Structure 1
Amino acid sequence: MDQTELTAKLNTMDEQDVYASAEEPSGPHIKWKRVKNSENIYQTEDACCSVETDRTGPAALEESSTVTNCSYRTPTVILGVLCLLLLVRLITVSVLYNERSSKWEMKRIQFQTSYNNLNKEKDQLQTSYNNLREEKDQLQTSYNNLTKEKDQLQTNYNNLIKEIGQLQTSYNNLIKEIGQLQTSYNNLSRDKVLEERQRETLQQKILTQERELGQLKRKLDAFNYYIQREWIYFGRSFYYISSNMKTWKQSREDCQQKNTDLIIISSKEEQDFVQKFGKVMWIGLTDRETEGVWKWVDGTRLTTSFWGPNEPNSFFGINEDCAVTGYHSGEDSWNDDTCEKEKLWICEKRMSL
């Protein structure tokens, strides 16, 4: 039973009359007086003091001592049991509290660690996202430039095909005319002198036509040669744009190995064509022989120029004796630079039609 029920039961017992008697053949007897203590069941001292004796002697003293001991013992045992139960309950609650506190602390640490890791991973993902966006913008720019260059190449290719068709037509017409001349030459008769003169005239015409035919054939072969090697055709010239970088001298040597030379820009249309590539490239212009006297690689002096603002200037007194195009934006894009620097270059092969 719990503490409440036990207390109620003890109160009920205290409200009852308690009597103790001892019969002897003769002599005095002990009479117990009803004791009522509804306020505190543990006031045993007052209860014991309420015992009345109407006899004296050793027997009376012995019996009085027994009753007093009984009155003290019962509440003390009950109180000890209650204290023990309370102590056990307090210990149990304390243990459970400590266990739950430890579990909650471990969970809190785990949640904090997970939160920190998620924050770190979020920052890494944000950085990766930013890098990918930047790379995407760069790729988009490259794609746009390639698309523009492809359109230019397609236009040049179409023009080249058209011009090749015209050359082929001229070639076929020459073949036909040579056949007619050969027929006329074979049909000459009668007057030997006239025949001889006509024959010589026809022979000269045949030789002339054959030379022209040879020139056309060489031109057709040249067209096929440069087209197969991905040269770009524009304005009766083929252009080669390098994919690696060299000094001005090395760039010119590379063009010479290709049986040509660095580009000579002689018109606004040609400058606009080169500028569309959007690259800084060596051109065939230098003042290495005489400072300030700019000449093309064929020895002719510069007349039409497209220098950028405040160019040429030999920046900070450095000898800048070779020219590049594409350094500045816009049509006027030339710049003088140190010839020993490595840059892209552009070769030009002029075709005489």
Structure 2
Amino acid sequence: MSTVIYATPVFKKVRYNRKVEEDGGKRDEREEVVYESADGVRDERISFQAHERGPQVQDPPPVQRKSFRAAALCLGVLCLLMMVGLIILSVRHFSVTLEKENLETRYNDLNKTYTELKDNKSSLTVNYKTLSKNHSLLQDEVKMLNNIIEEGKLCPKGWKRFGSSYYFKSTEKKSWYDSRYDCQSRGSDLVSINSKEEQEFVTKFLLSKNEESWIGLRTKQSHQRGPYMYMWEWVDGSSLTETFWARDPYPSQYYHATCCDRQGQWTQTHYNDKKTWICEKQISSFT
């Protein structure tokens, strides 16, 4: 069985304007009914709507769409790289800032340590000077104690020490030559006084009041001055550097020197006179 579909007729009125001959000056207007099918009307409506919407934008061709996609992809990659770079820079900035703070802390600690060390150095310098001074004093004390010990060990009974020599004062009285012989028997000789300090020591510690003792000063013939001219000389062969005479002596073969008068000065006495004597011996010669 077949079905017949009839299209509903659509009609519309259309107004026509018709011009007559220009010379006639007449104008004829009339309406006519035009019958159209539904399809035709629909096509006409669509065309009219399209005309009202304006021109349609056509889709770009496939090649242009690929170019847009590639550009968008590149832009996305660049954005991603920029984000990664910003993250790296942020991390780096944080690390540098942290390192800077650590360095500042270390610098402050080192500066504080330096100040403390500087103060300690000053204190140590003061302590060193004090210790050096005490060390020198202790060395002097040790030296003095060693001298006392050596004197106690090496000095025979009756000897006294001054400088680098030991001295002996006799209680007997003999002539100058016998006195010298006694000193030589003790491994020494009559004293030779070569300085003011030694003179003061002999006067203060070895001589009794109002007593003179033989010393190692004698007369010796001087052939340069003449056959009967004499000069003073110490028994050890040294010349006089300092003299402490009470009055100017006259050297002769019969007179030798003694020490000392009441003022602690030398006098000239005949060598056969009986007097006490003073012996001197170097420390290095003690055994």
| Normalised TM-score (structure 2) | 0.42
Quick one: higher RCO (CA 8 Å, sep 6+), 1 or 2? 2
- Structure with bigger helix share is 1
- Structure with bigger strand share is 2
| Normalised TM-score (structure 1) | 0.35
